[in-house]
Amino acid sequence: MEAPLENPPALGPRAAPERLIVAMTGVEGSRYGIGLLEALRQTSVESHLVMCACARQAIRAETGMDPDLIRKLATRSYHPHNQAAKISSGSFLTKGMVIAPCSVRSLSAIVNGYATTLVTRAADVTLKERRPLVLLVNESPLSPIQVENLRRAATVPGVVVSWPGQQADDEVIDGLLAQFAIPRGPVLGR
């Protein structure tokens, strides 16, 4: 019988992998979410994607691309109604979340705590855990209620509400990466 080790080797804390949740909702601007996923593939940051059904339609209409090909850009993707997905738990450590593009419908659900889809549940958890949440809102004109929802979202600590405006696509993607201190990197070939 072997004697137990008196001083077992110390195991240091394991660094959690760097992860970013990327959501795409159904509004014009799917190129921003696609560009972000492509940029993340060039880094060591895992991308965890959830795309609503309306986003799938917007991708087809805007780019002519198959949304399933876009899903393959992500490290992992989730069904939009799978509330049991890893990204719906605060114990799943992430750098935060980007919704690019973010519809005013999703914005409204988020600011009112109405987490009925995986996109809004993951955003709710991101806020609860005090992680950064970036909402790339790409709709206009806005009603007074939608403007109020934007104002409310912008007052929440850790929330960044962004409009792409007249910026070039690369500028928008670089801005999203900068929010999480993720530099563009060399292609890593995932």
28-77 per-position pLDDT tens digit: 999 999 999 999 999 999 999 999 999 999 999 999 999 999 999 999 99
Nearest to 120 by CA among 133, 138, 137: 133
**Distance (Å, rounded) from C-alpha 188 to C-alpha 185?**
8
Q: What are the start-end ranges of the H helices in 74-168?
A: 104-111, 118-128, 144-154
pLDDT value, residue 190: 46
Q: Is 152 exposed, middle or buried (0-12, 13-18, 19+ CB in 10 A)?
A: middle
Q: Cβ(87)–Cβ(47) under 8 Å? A: no
Q: Would you say residue 5 has pLDDT above 50?
A: no
74: left (phi over 0), alpha (psi -120 to 50) or beta: beta
The whole-chain average pLDDT of the chain stands at 90
Q: For residue 4, give Cα distances in angstroms to 1, 7, 8, 9, 114.
A: 9, 9, 9, 12, 53
pLDDT 10s digits, 127-164: 999 999 999 998 888 899 999 999 999 999 999 999 88
Question: What percentage of the chain has pLDDT greater than the value 90?
Answer: 80
Q: Would you say residue 2 has pLDDT above 70?
A: no
108-112 average pLDDT score = 96
Q: Would you say residue 187 has pLDDT above 60?
A: no
Structure tokens at 45: 């940051």
pLDDT value, residue 140: 81
Q: Would you say residue 165 has pLDDT above 70?
A: yes
> Which domains, from first to last, does the chain contain?
19-179 (3.40.50.1950)
- pLDDT-based confidence at residue 16 (cuts at 50, 70, 90): low
Q: Is 68 exposed, middle or buried (0-12, 13-18, 19+ CB in 10 A)?
A: exposed
- pLDDT-based confidence at residue 167 (cuts at 50, 70, 90): confident
Strand, coil or helix: 148: helix
96-119 average pLDDT score = 96
Q: Cβ(52)–Cβ(123) under 8 Å? A: no
pLDDT value, residue 29: 93
Q: Cβ(107)–Cβ(114) under 8 Å? A: no
How many other CB atoms sit within 10 Å of the CB of residue 169?
Answer: 13
pLDDT value, residue 160: 94
Q: Would you say residue 110 has pLDDT above 60?
A: yes
Give phi and psi for 137, each to the nearest 5. Answer: -85, 125
